[in-house]
Structure 1
Amino acid sequence: MPQESKDPLDHLESFKTLMHLQGVPDTIMCRAFPTTLKGPARIWFSRLTPNSIGTFKELSAQFTSHFIGGHKYKKSTACLMNIKQWEDKMLRSYITRFNKEALSISEADDKILMAVFTNGLWKGKFLFSLYKNNSKTMS
């Protein structure tokens, strides 16, 4: 799999999207797929019995079932509750850590993000200004 995508399902979906966008037929997809693989995925593919796979759908199913352990599962907003601003650290550090994790959550509601963000803030002027101004969105 490419270095930028360590999630096998993400790699497979990106490949399929690119191929479908270009109107590539199923047989060509089967032949092109191994060119996108690296490391263990390339070794796995090279060990498949020649002519044992008839369709790209079948190849996708075998790839997925073999590499499902490497799939990155979606995070929920609950994981953000562990991020806290440390008393001796700058606000900017907390915001950076929070935003980095928040970006990994695909279905994050702004009201929930705001509640979790303020919950993790150290009690101080910034937190009180958020409450005073009745801030309701992350922006």
Structure 2
Amino acid sequence: MPKAQLDSGAFYIRQRSNFSERDEQMKKLRLTGASALIALLAAILAPAPSASAVKVECGDPNFVQVAWHPSNGVGGVACFAGAGKNWFEGVRGFSSWATYLITGNNDITFVDCNGTTIDYPRGKNTPLNPAKCVAWINIKPY
């Protein structure tokens, strides 16, 4: 084989191996950049954990108040404060039925046992007739 052909072949092989190394480095750099971008977007766009409305002693007219009774008898009034969701417990083993709702200074979403949602604006005193089976109450943030 003539020397010129041999040298050009060696040059081609060396040049090609340099391209392969650069290609691998670029692939790693792109993969690292894409991974960092995905992690950044996940941190920015991930929803914050939902807060929980806290069950409190009644007495403040600004609290959400729910008059209720279990399916087996006498209930009472439960009051909630703070933005977030409160799964309504009532009496374990029995459905809880809301008969009256006072929103206080809160906008709320009432969710019944079938998953139906009803929004109530702040400042509403609402008799629930017939009583509604209550699953949870969401107090909306301002």
Work out whether the TM-score is over 0.5: no
- TM-score, L = length of structure 1: 0.24
- TM-score, L = length of structure 2: 0.24
Higher strand content, 1 or 2 = 2
